[in-house]
Amino acid sequence: MGILFISNDICFEHKPSGQHPERPDRLSAVLDGLERARMGSTITKLRAEPVDENLILQVHDQDLIYELKEISEQGGGVVDADTRMSSASWKAALVAAGAGLQAINELQNGTATSAFCAIRPPGHHATTSKSMGFCLLNNIAVTARKLINEGEKVLIVDYDAHHGNGTQDVFYSDPNVLFISLHQMPLYPWTGAVNERGIGDGIGTTLNIPLRPGTTGDVYLSAWEKLALPIIEKFEPTWLLISAGFDAHRRDPLTELGLTSGDYNLLTSRIIETVPAGRRLVFLEGGYDLQALELSTCAVLHALVDIETHPEELSNGGVGSEAIDEIAEILRTHEY
């Protein structure tokens, strides 16, 4: 069995306007990455279908849905300082939020070992009540909510360079979701400190790993092994969802991290070991350099079928190793 690749051409029709970084060409670059991967019959392509709005209400407030629909029906417009819609954006957002639900159904039927949701607009900044940071609906949260309703324990790993504040917001008090974010600090949205650990029943099920500008792949792997794995082993997840932002790549124009596409291959390979095959989903999030998007997509697709590939060499020797030790010391004072 191979990989599901789920997308829909309506995602090209979400056009934030002008020279906005979250542009349709991003999805073209991801499709180029699929072609570069040359995986033949290992890939099964599916057309993403829109989510039922009632399922969105399990994650987002009704007022937010009304607002987004109204802006789109008016031909598009401004959602916030960074986030804009066109007339087709609401339809694209429904499809983006529905892709993961399709993937779950297919994986539960045993048709594949993993799924890659090539969708836009992205979602991990969208909170329960607010669309922001180029994101309209929180795609990965909609999928996680369905799994939780079915009694699953969900691990969400977010390696987008920007902290997934929206996903954290949705599940901050939920003991059935372990949210782990590796992100640049300082950087938009200015959240994701180590001491953000959850509240109520969810204390200890949020792990933020803020990384310094220039951090390279060897430090990411160290953070994964020293900080994340011990907590994951205690949590014992049954499903894995990855917010795959490729803006931690060294070419990205909006960030200052030092990863290569080779690092994405190795890091993803390590992450997917945490759950059995057939319970792994990847969601496209950020990434604003087209070449980096193409190479990194190829690298992650290969990782999902256990192919070691280095479209670019692994990075190492950058700054940041001391930050891992500092975070480890902070974590020792908390119970996870």
Query: Rounded to an integer, what distance in angstroms lies between the CA atom of residue 275 and that of residue 26?
Result: 29
Quick one: pLDDT at residue 336? 66
Quick one: pLDDT at residue 329? 84
Q: Which of 14, 60, 124, 125 is catalytic?
A: 125
**In the predicted structure, residue 18 carries a pLDDT above the cut 80:** no
Beta strands in 100-245 (DSSP E): 114-117, 154-158, 177-184, 206-211, 239-244
267-304 confidence digits (pLDDT tens): 999 999 999 999 999 999 999 999 999 999 999 999 99
Task: Examine the residue annotation and report whether 60 is marked as an active-site residue of this protein.
Answer: no
For the segment 50-75, the average pLDDT, to the nearest whole number, is: 96
pLDDT category of residue 209 using cuts at 50, 70 and 90: very high
114-159 confidence digits (pLDDT tens): 999 999 999 999 999 999 999 999 999 999 999 999 999 999 999 9
| Alpha helices, DSSP H, located in 133-184 | 139-149, 165-171
pLDDT category of residue 335 using cuts at 50, 70 and 90: low
Query: Rounded to an integer, what distance in angstroms lies between the CA atom of residue 62 and that of residue 211?
Result: 35
Query: Rounded to an integer, what distance in angstroms lies between the CA atom of residue 288 and that of residue 293?
Result: 7
C-alpha distance across the termini of the chain, in Å: 36
249-267 confidence digits (pLDDT tens): 999 999 999 999 999 999 9
Retrieve residue 217's tokens: 């792949």
pLDDT category of residue 318 using cuts at 50, 70 and 90: confident
162-174 confidence digits (pLDDT tens): 999 999 999 999 9
- Domain ranges for the chain, please list them: 3-167+237-307
Q: Does domain 3-167+237-307 have CATH number 3.40.800.20?
A: yes
Q: Report pTM.
A: 0.97
